Amino acid sequence: MSENELIALTAVDAVEKLRNGELSPLDLIDAAEERTDAVDGPINSMPIRFHAAARESAKSINTRRKNALHPGAWLAGLPVGVKDLSDVAGQRTTMGGSPIFKDFVAEKSSNDVVNLQRNGGIPVGKLASPEFGFNATTYSQLFGYTRNPWNTTLSTAGSSGGSAAAVASGQVWAATGSDLGASIRTPASFCGIVGLRPSPGLVPRGPTPFSFSVLPVHGPMARNVQDTALMMDAMVGLRESDPISFPPPDISYLQAAQSPEKPLRVAFSTDLGITSCDREIAALVHQSAQKLESIGCIVEEIHPDFGDAVEIFHAIRGTGHIAGMGALLEQHADLLTDEIKWSVETARGLSADDIAKAERGRSALQQRVSTFFETYDLLICPANVVPPFPAEWTTVKEHEGYEFERYIDWIAITFAITLTACPSLSVPCGFLKSGMPLGVQLVSRPRSEYNLFTYGRFFEDVMNLGVITPVTPKKY
């Protein structure tokens, strides 16, 4: 098969060919490297590459082996990308292009990467992130801006912008992402791929100095729902150094994605009552809801009460910033971005009562959402409320006359969902008039990833967009 034919394979098809001996891991590593050399220059998504090391790893892969505990998780030597907030043993981790870590080489792989490697995934490179994942756009002091392959003048969003761009442009078949406020879901939407923010604990994190937080999670990103489910199968599982992780379930997420199921009752909202939404994006969300209604779903425009979610999120996120970044700010203030310094210093202005109020508010919000999902199978809302913007923007201050108060408030539509601990799957639903893709969040009750993948595959089939990636980077 030619390089173009190989990179056009779905991850599921590539793994099947690896398992039955039609392809070797080296075939795919070669194709991945050639594709990266050909297309990454204009988008800057994979600043750290180690294809040669991947070839050495491939020598120990038994492509026909099965994982006895979780057979569907065996990737059989599939090349994957790793977001540059996770370690790959023997390779650089710059924590998203921070000068503080510019020369750091990891001795051990991070927990999510260990699971991938044990399940037959072969990392071939580190994917761009803003420094420490602190922004919802992807740029750093070391590596500069990451650009959208659909239009290289535009942003990938963030913080998993490198992962989204690399997957969308065909440099890897799947990649890891991490998500606190929007970081898997919005880049997936901007780049026309699929990404899952799973329930906390399903995919192990760290080791990390703030290991008990349930806001940040790691999750899979790929070109369609089935490929994302396959990647999820390979990432889940207990790692003792992550205290909230647990053993993999006795189910296959890929099997779920191969068994589409129609949700009975669907709720949708364009703004969750807490933000503005671009008029064209709102219209596409309405069209998506109408398509579901036309094939028999009961669809209502309704959402839980998220009225205090913005203030809750900023208070709780701030606590994590002090724990995770406070020491670095004291030691390396001159090497940190203004956004990081602002976040930590603002958080230090919160009182204990402010934080306690936010925690009570989060618990009340979670209870409201839990009650909501007693009636509805699925909540649909945008994965972004503004269209892709210039790559050099580090935030969105205003759109269609609506001013966003803080530098990340333009992602309130996603960070509000983060607070609920519900899984959220970002799936393409259509295209804007500009030609840029748009995704929606499909949200279901906590710990319902299996059902979410069945609904996600059903939604993907109903939208009927066909194969939209990989794309060759272009500029308009």
Query: Whole-angstrom distance between the N-terminal and C-terminal Cα of the chain?
Result: 32
pLDDT grade for 63, boundaries at 50, 70 and 90:
confident
The separation between CA 39 and the C-alpha centre of its own chain, rounded to angstroms, equals 22
Residue 261: which region, alpha, beta or left (left: phi > 0; alpha: psi -120 to 50)?
Answer: beta
Amino acid at 330: E
What is d(CA 386, CA 396) in angstroms, rounded to the nearest whole number?
Answer: 8
User: pLDDT digits over 92-120, tens only?
Assistant: 999 999 999 999 999 999 999 999 999 99
Contact 217, 422 (CB under 8 A): no
Q: Which of 433, 363, 428, 389 is nearest to 148 (CA)?
A: 389
What is d(CA 390, CA 398) in angstroms, rounded to the nearest whole number?
Answer: 14
Please give the structure tokens belonging to residue 241.
């150094």
Is-above-0.95 flag for pTM?
yes
Calculate the dihedral angle through the C-alpha atoms of 75, 77, 79, 83, rounding to the nearest 10 degrees: 60
What is d(CA 458, CA 452) in angstroms, rounded to the nearest whole number?
Answer: 10
What is d(CA 446, CA 127) in angstroms, rounded to the nearest whole number?
Answer: 29
Q: Which of 38, 108, 74 is nearest to 254 (CA)?
A: 74
Amino acid at 75: L
Contact 382, 281 (CB under 8 A): yes
Contact 236, 249 (CB under 8 A): yes
Q: What angle do CA 61, 66, 69 make, to 5 degrees?
A: 125
User: pLDDT digits over 15-35, tens only?
Assistant: 999 999 999 999 999 999 999
Question: What's the whole-number mean pLDDT along residues 302-317?
Answer: 96
Question: What's the whole-number mean pLDDT along residues 400-426?
Answer: 97
What is d(CA 30, CA 396) in angstroms, rounded to the nearest whole number?
Answer: 39
User: pLDDT digits over 248-265, tens only?
Assistant: 888 899 999 999 999 999
Read off the DSSP letter of residue 181: S
Rg (Cα) of the chain, in Å, rounded? Answer: 20
Amino acid at 252: S
CATH node for 3-463: 3.90.1300.10
pLDDT at 473 over 60: yes
Q: Active-site residue numbers?
A: 83, 159, 183
For the chain, give the percent of residues with pLDDT over 70: 99
